[in-house]
Amino acid sequence: MSKSIIKINNLSKCYRIGAKETGYKTFREAIIDGIGAPFRNLKLLQRLTKFNNNGDDVRSSDIIWALKDISFKVYEGEIVGIIGKNGAGKSTLLKILSRITEPTSGIIEINGRVSSLLEVGTGFHPELTGRENIFLNGAILGMRKKEIEQKFDEIANFAEIEKFLDTPVKRYSSGMYVRLAFAVAAHLESEILLIDEVLAVGDIAFQKKCLGKMEDVAKGGRTVLFVSHNMLAMKNLCTKGIVIENGKIVCFNTISVAIEKYLMNKPDLLGEICWNSPEIAPGNHQVRLKAVRIISDGKISSNPSLDKDIEIQVDYWNLEKGGRRLVAIHLFNSMGFLLLTSANFNSASLTPDSWVNKKYPVGLFRTTCVIPKYLLNTGMHSVSLYINGTMDRDNIILKKHVISFDVKDSDERKDYLGKWIGAIRPKLAWSTEKIE
């Protein structure tokens, strides 16, 4: 069995609102700081445990726990995806492992050199050239000049910035910056690679290149911790997944189980979402959204069956007479892949909507889209909603992932009980004949 390369026990990170973040200190600063630490820690303890007459912490509003008592192990050669909403604590964890941020408490054991790409600009000196920054990063990792020189051409070719290697990086575009940063992090000889949302920057070709390189890195026995909101990339690349919610680990399992846990925790898996009045509803003076619901077998459901038609009903207040309204949806699967786009204009509808070319009076309207049975596969799906004037490019209402639903299997299957793979699962026409 491979050895653990990262071991974390009861790690916590606390921020105080308004306080300046301090980095790691020199040896001399640490000694001086240690002399006064007992007194400062006593004051901090008194402040954190000071309660008012109602038993509430009177200063708790000043404290934010980005991470709270998390523990896990990562083994050599694993690619671990770290999943969570914005603000969950994912980036804080990687910054602590990269020694950019100091933990408040806990024990961290790292058996190997760490290279990281956390955000554009991290680890580069803006006044130095691309060439100088490559050597600087290698030196920080403890590599000798000869080792860096052996990797230099490979790094420059991957980053595709050979012409600009002797230009200060402060003059680089964000795309050039991140290409060089990833190339340095992935090619220098570190045992651990930390990547935070590298797929959010750069073009499609570069993103594919990064994913391919990360696969090569893992096959070479190096360990990768990867933060991304791209569930499809997570699924294809990672072996395990960590789900973080509000600074705590709620799941550490295979990547498939982790993604399912993350998606199932979405609060909008309700079957219906409503706004009681136009004053608080999404929209503007022309249109306000009243409700979005999922209907299966005539009932509101967050778990429609694949052997029943699935209706997406959109209720909205038209507040300004004389306008035309176009309603459109984007349907995504659990991996974030766009399965289909549909709208109620005539060329996109099997049953023409009689209101498409009419001028709307003031009133409450309902537009319904029917997804035929036996089209979607089982699993989580989400709907993004658009409402605007007919053929008008400016959206009056845009609600991304406004509602989600989990398609369940039917009870009719008897000939094959395994899980069907694929983004969709239509019933198609099949036949066999003897031709000779």
Lowest mean pLDDT among 97-111, 129-143, 349-363: 129-143
Q: Could you tell me which residue, 62 or 195, shows the higher pLDDT?
A: 195
pLDDT band, residue 61 (cuts 50/70/90): low
pLDDT of residue 141 exceeding 80, the answer is no
User: What's the rounded Cα separation, in Å, for the pair 125 and 116?
Assistant: 15
What pLDDT shows up at residue 123? 66
pLDDT band, residue 288 (cuts 50/70/90): very high
pLDDT of residue 55 exceeding 50, the answer is no
Alpha carbons within 13 A on the beta-carbon side of 281: 23
All structural domains of the chain with their residue ranges: 4-112+191-264, 272-407
pLDDT of residue 185 exceeding 80, the answer is no
**pLDDT over 70 percentage in the chain:** 83
Q: Tell me the angle at which helices 130-140 and 174-187 cross, rounded to the nearest 10 degrees.
A: 40
Average pLDDT, the chain: 82
- The model carries a pTM of 0.61
132-145: average pLDDT: 82
Alpha carbons within 13 A on the beta-carbon side of 78: 21
Lowest mean pLDDT among 25-34, 386-395, 403-412: 25-34
Assign a CATH topology to domain 4-112+191-264: Rossmann fold (3.40.50)
Assign a CATH topology to domain 272-407: Coagulation Factor XIII; Chain A, domain 1 (2.70.50)
Q: Quick one: which of 300, 302, 306 has its CA closest to 269?
A: 302
User: What's the rounded Cα separation, in Å, for the pair 168 and 202?
Assistant: 20
**pLDDT over 90 percentage in the chain:** 33
What pLDDT shows up at residue 417? 66
User: What's the rounded Cα separation, in Å, for the pair 72 and 11?
Assistant: 10
Which pLDDT tens digit goes with each residue over 307-346? 999 999 999 999 989 888 999 999 988 777 889 999 998 8
CB of 246 within 8 A of CB of 214? Answer: no
User: What's the rounded Cα separation, in Å, for the pair 131 and 322?
Assistant: 63
User: What's the rounded Cα separation, in Å, for the pair 77 and 228?
Assistant: 19
Q: Could you tell me which residue, 394 or 69, shows the higher pLDDT?
A: 69
Q: Could you tell me which residue, 271 or 116, shows the higher pLDDT?
A: 271
Sign of torsion, CA 67 72 76 82?
negative
Secondary structure element (H or E) that encloses residue 294, with its range: strand 287-296
What pLDDT shows up at residue 33? 57
